[in-house]
Amino acid sequence: MANSVYEKLLQCRDAVRKVTDFVPDVALVLGSGLGAFADNIRIEKEISYSDIPGFPVSTVPGHAGKFIFGYLDDKKIVCMKGRVHFYEGYDISDVVLPARLMKMLGAKILFLTNAAGGLGDGFAAGDLMLITDHVSIFAPNPLKGANIDELGPRFPDMSEVYSRDLQDIIRGVARENGIRLQEGVYCQLTGPSFESPAEIRLLKGLGVSAVGMSTVNEAIAANHMGMKICGVSCISNLAAGISDVPLCHEEVQEAADKAAPLFTKLVTESIRRFDVSDQEENRL
């Protein structure tokens, strides 16, 4: 029997291919604060998510939804301006559909960004954090259900989800540009409520440095498909109990907007340095 998740993916791919034959090398998910990134791109084509039948469309304010296909210098890139979150009520397979689709369109590298609460030692609101690993055990696994063999194996290895090569490039860009870059483990929770101080203390004990409501599900699905992945969080606030002010969405948005220029610089310069030569081809 046909797998309905895979069928939907193929349908979305075909819908995109009717509009553009652009084949991106790098896929970038723009989190809060990175909206202006698209200004750096020589745009070839934009496709609203709502024009792709079956594609999940976000309901969160500030998460306008479209794919932007174009060039960052000579790099062929697809950006997601707006993503959907599990807490909006979608099936987890729909939450990761966009990441899977971008791989099917050709992207070999996935750059994930987000706004997150910080709990690492010495973290301050406005910091950027390189994601070195993740904790996924509090969010549903996007690979549950029948394995889609066309995408990847049943039991994928997770020992290096965030590529060491890409991490080194991002560190280098931060160093050379005087951008303060924290590092640590990101944990995805389902949301939409923020965490309680007790939950944050628990997560701190687990070695977590940043918490949020996205990213890990996409990283798991992309890793399943063999993509090279990297991620950077914008620490938009200190996590509950560490900060003594109540958290709110507007504050997160505002802090992310403030950090945007440096965040944009870090992401742009890093992508410029990514090697997108096709490893498979090189081996032949």
User: Which residues of the shown chain bind ligand HPA in the complex (CB under 6 A)?
Assistant: 115-117, 194-195, 211-213, 236-237, 239, 247, 252
Beta strands, E only, the chain: 26-30, 42-48, 66-72, 75-81, 109-118, 128-135, 181-188, 210-212, 228-238
- Told to judge if 32 belongs to the known catalytic residues of this protein, a careful annotator would answer yes
Gap between the Cα atoms of 210 and 236, Å rounded = 10
User: Phi and psi of 209, rounded to 5°?
Assistant: -110, -20
Please report how close the Cβ of residue 159 comes to ligand HPA at its closest, in angstroms.
Answer: 26
Closest to ligand HPA by CB, 24 vs 117, is: 117
- Told to judge if 134 belongs to the known catalytic residues of this protein, a careful annotator would answer no
- Told to judge if 236 belongs to the known catalytic residues of this protein, a careful annotator would answer no
Please report how close the Cβ of residue 78 comes to ligand HPA at its closest, in angstroms.
Answer: 24
Q: What does 175-200 look like in DSSP terms, one character per residue?
A: HHTT--EEEEEEEE---SSPPPHHHH
Please report how close the Cβ of residue 82 comes to ligand HPA at its closest, in angstroms.
Answer: 15
Closest to ligand HPA by CB, 107 vs 112, is: 112
Closest to ligand HPA by CB, 85 vs 224, is: 85
Please report how close the Cβ of residue 247 comes to ligand HPA at its closest, in angstroms.
Answer: 5
Gap between the Cα atoms of 252 and 255, Å rounded = 5
Please report how close the Cβ of residue 192 comes to ligand HPA at its closest, in angstroms.
Answer: 9
Helix (H), strand (E) at residue 97:
helix 97-104
Residue with nearest beta carbon to ligand HPA? 117
Closest to ligand HPA by CB, 148 vs 211, is: 211
Q: Looking at 88, 183, 251, 269, which residue is catalytic?
A: 88
- Told to judge if 88 belongs to the known catalytic residues of this protein, a careful annotator would answer yes
- Told to judge if 249 belongs to the known catalytic residues of this protein, a careful annotator would answer yes
Q: What does 207-258 look like in DSSP terms, one character per residue?
A: T--EEESSSHHHHHHHHHTT-EEEEEEEEEEEPBTTBSS---HHHHHHHHHH
Closest to ligand HPA by CB, 43 vs 137, is: 137
| Active site (catalytic) residues | 32, 63, 85, 87-88, 115, 213-214, 237, 249
